Amino acid sequence: MNRWLGVLILVCLALALALACSSGDDDDATAADDDTGQAADDDAATDDDAGPSGEATWMWIPIEGFTCRDGSKSGIAIRMNPQSDKLMVYLQGGGACYDPDSCADNPSHFGETDLAAILHTDLVSGIFNTKDSRNPVRDWNMVFVPYCTGDIFAGNQPDGAAPGVPGKQQFVGFQNVQKIMMYIERHFSGASQVLLSGTSAGGFGTLVAYAPLADNFRDTPVILLDDSGPFVDSNAALPPCYQFLLRLLWNVTDSIPSGCRDCSQLNGDGISNLLPYLAHHYPLGRFGLFSSLADATIRDYWGMGQNHCTGTGKVPADVYRAALLDERKNFLEPTGKWWTFYINGETHGILTYEDTTADWVSFYSTAVGDMTFTGWLNDLITDVGPLNVGP
């Protein structure tokens, strides 16, 4: 029996159990707030050390109902700048959970101590660097949303199951997103501009989190920046059987806007239709996608769908490249609202890195010709374009 058949059997059993049971906590996210409407919480933990680079303070804010994959509770981190009325929301990356190997590499919890471990590393680097003038959002208010559900922020499956992984898995990333976005809107309702960004799993997450965030902010422009989390139309790269199984495992269908009828087809196909749907349905929005054209990390994850979902092989580099180019030409460019920044190579991720390695590229020094990534991002934010960069 191949492992995807095992996934299907266990998922169907989990769905049957879920239908017979209550499906979790529907309470809205709550936290104390002051009369100014800015984020505040009596239990919020504050980093009293501004750090070696003098970075501003991050606050840990527990969010009611924010549940990680292991059932533990979590929250968000906020860095305020009272001089700014702009807001960036960042969704953390970190793989996915669908079998023992993938789940072992995916965080199942995130708390205040986990935040402390990245305060002076990830949260002062790249797009979080408040000192580098090349960063277009250096002085914005910032919200960091940790990733601990293993479902690319798209899950609606409490008490789910992953083949070979002991215990119930709380695949409730999208339920968390809904609570978090409501909290963010309440505390940043005066924002003049909002940027929703994310890397890898968080990049995919921006695509499902955009609607809840934009719906809450209504008349405020919300920009999406997806770093290395593309959905593509190519069945060779992202087969319908793979989409179908992940929909079942995490109950992704309930995370897709009901108006996007082409996003959830009977054979599992159609998730790539979400990208043009967002552009058409949210006229105030602008949308950006960064990817390397042979991203080895995504090709490895999507390899599970190769050979009719037998779980062998990796998506060939030329197939992945063709899929991204086709997505840009036939799905993104026609909207007039999507921007792309493509680079050659197999790297994965850009937003939180300041150096270039074999695995990722620099937020500041990456360029195609005369166009730097930060220059492209500034143009996306200020609506100079749309502009497609790269091969």
Domains in the chain, ordered, with CATH? 3-19+44-389 (3.40.50)
Give the orientation angle of helix 3-20 with respect to helix 240-250, to 10 degrees: 40
184 φ, ψ (degrees, to nearest 5):
-60, -45
Residues β-bridged to residue 160: 169
pLDDT digits (tens, 9 = 90+) for 83-109: 999 999 999 999 999 999 999 999 999
Alpha carbon of residue 221 to chain centroid: 19
pLDDT tens series, the chain, 391 aa = 444 444 444 444 444 444 344 334 444 433 334 333 333 343 444 444 344 344 568 999 999 999 999 999 999 999 999 999 999 999 999 999 999 999 999 999 999 999 999 999 999 999 999 999 999 999 999 999 999 999 999 999 999 999 999 999 999 999 999 999 999 999 999 999 999 999 999 999 999 999 999 999 988 999 999 999 999 999 999 999 999 989 999 999 999 999 998 998 888 889 999 999 999 999 999 999 999 999 999 999 999 888 888 877 899 999 999 999 999 999 999 999 999 999 999 999 999 999 888 789 999 999 999 999 999 999 999 998 778 999 9
Exposure class string for 330-346: b at 16+ Cβ within 10 A, else e: ebbbeeebbbbbbbeeb
In this structure, what DSSP letter does residue 78 have? E
Task: Report CA torsion sign: 340, 343, 345, 346.
Answer: negative
Bridge-based pairing state of the strands 73-79 and 45-46:
unpaired
pTM for the whole thing? 0.87
Burial class (CB in 10 A: 0-12, 13-18, 19+), 83: exposed
pLDDT, tens digit (0-9, with 9 covering 90-100), for 10-61: 444 444 444 344 334 444 433 334 333 333 343 444 444 344 344 568 999 9
Q: What's the CA gap between 49 and 156, in Å, rounded?
A: 38
The CA distance from 65 to 29, in Å, is 6
